[in-house]
Amino acid sequence: MIDKSEGSIEIDGVDVDEVPLGRLRSSLTIIPQDPFLFHGTLRQNLDPANQYSDSDISKAIELSQLSNFVVHLSNGLDYMIDEFGSNISSGEKQLICLARALLKHTKILILDEATSNIDLKTDSIIQETISREFSDCTVITVAHRIETILNYQKILVLDNGSVAEFDTPQNLLSRGDSLFASMVSHATNSRT
């Protein structure tokens, strides 16, 4: 995370500048476009603090669409991941981070292009999982893939670093002058 340049960020009415950094970090989960994995077993990468049961880990693996990947690993959860996850694909790294987020289940989930290296079918399943498993949480998604966010409750559109639009997808799509509607139209036309 980087420091903000101006304004304030509040969580439940509390300015994050007033919250100790460790507590702030433990209350949110970020899945970046380029996820961080460390040298260690798959189990250690999923559960660095060794606090979850095998049953919890198995459920997270299933929900994150990693089951097929894990079943084909020579050592399953004991498979050794190289530094930065250099011995697995970018999509698999993103799914491992999603499984980690499902285990941690923090109040705030931030997805920064978190499914950019995943095929559209898997992304759709992941979005359903996120919607269901994090229904009681705040989910903030940064996405260029429009399909990823069409079912979200609110869309915030940035233009040159400023908020240009903030509304439901339906309201934005119904406005003829909407930047979001223009992006959806462009994305739809690009695929046809």
Q: Would you call 7 exposed, middle or buried from its count of C-beta atoms within 10 A (0-12, 13-18, 19+)?
A: exposed
Distance CA 95, CA 147 (A): 18
| Beta carbons of 89 and 95 less than 8 angstroms apart | no
For residue 139, the cross-strand partners are: 109
Query: How confident is residue 1, by pLDDT bands cut at 50, 70 and 90?
Result: low
For residue 28, the cross-strand partners are: 108
In eight-state DSSP terms, residue 114 is: T
Read off the pTM.
0.85
pLDDT above 70 covers what percent of the chain? 97
Residue-range domain boundaries for the chain: 18-152
In eight-state DSSP terms, residue 41 is: E
In this structure, which topology does domain 18-152 adopt according to CATH? Rossmann fold (3.40.50)
pLDDT computed for residue 187 by the predictor? 82
- According to DSSP, the β-strands at 108-112 and 80-81 are unpaired
Query: Which secondary structure element, helix H or strand E, spans residue 186, and what is its range?
Result: helix 179-191
Distance CA 110, CA 4 (A): 16
Give Cα separations from 119 to 93, 95, 147 (angstroms): 14, 12, 12
pLDDT computed for residue 191 by the predictor? 65
pLDDT computed for residue 140 by the predictor? 93
